[in-house]
Amino acid sequence: MARPVVIGIAGGTASGKSLVACRIFETLGSDRVAVIKQDSYYRDLSDLDPAQRERQNFDHPDAFDIPLLRGHLESLIAGRSIEEPTYDFTHHVRAKETRTQPPAAVIVLEGILILAEPSLRELMDIKVYVDTDPDIRLVRRIRRDVEERGRTVQSVLRQYEHSVRPMHLQFVEPSKRYADVIVPEGGDNRVAIDLLRTKIAAVLMQALIDLEAEGGRSEEAGA
């Protein structure tokens, strides 16, 4: 089995990372793509009371369990299934339920800070940064957190001002320099998505060629 192609998709909050991942998923098919979300790997804060949880900085690299995420990524690369955590964003705790994720030919890892973490970057074959204007991202963030995560508009704006924007400027935006591909405006940018699809196809083809060449060398050695 060829080593899976690992694609990292980073970008600011609500930039459209998930839509880009969805476009890849639609192109290659569900049986060939495993999508892993960095948001699933927030540290469990169940040992803190609710007020303390609310005060945590969820946009700093330390908010994530990177060793667990890297370990799971390495398992998928090695052809082993993982139990991806489920995170409760309303109460800021890790849920008991997990999601079984089998290995696949393409592994898509998406999250705001994945390109800022060297131990994750070194496992990626293609690094993507989704670049979307701050005002658009803020509107999307408000809509998502109010409708899907049970937040108030005031709490979303307060978090954006106190941690989301400062951490974006300190960690997320600078990580753009590590990207191989920059996609303006996310999954709605059809030209960028088509170019990304072409690149993925080329990397998959090269992996297959390398595997066949390796198999040929093994047969010659055994002759």
Cβ neighbours, 10 Å, residue 102: 11
For residue 215, the one-letter residue type is G
Whole-number Å distance between alpha carbons of 120 and 141:
25
Whole-number Å distance between alpha carbons of 124 and 5:
8
Q: One digit per residue, pLDDT tens: the chain, 223 residues?
A: 578 889 999 999 999 898 888 888 887 776 788 999 999 999 999 888 888 888 889 999 999 999 999 999 999 999 999 999 999 888 888 999 999 999 998 999 999 999 999 999 999 999 999 999 999 999 999 999 999 888 899 999 999 999 999 999 999 999 999 999 898 877 678 888 888 888 877 877 776 777 677 666 656 665 5
Residue spans per domain, the chain: 5-210
The per-residue pLDDT for 18 is 87
Among 178, 176, 157, 156, which Cα is nearest to 168's? 176
Instruction: List Cα–Cα distances, 81 to 27, 61, 75, 107, 196, in angstroms.
Output: 22, 26, 7, 12, 26
Whole-number Å distance between alpha carbons of 223 and 219:
6
Whole-number Å distance between alpha carbons of 173 and 178:
10
CATH architecture label of 5-210: 3-Layer(aba) Sandwich (3.40)
pTM for the model stands at 0.86
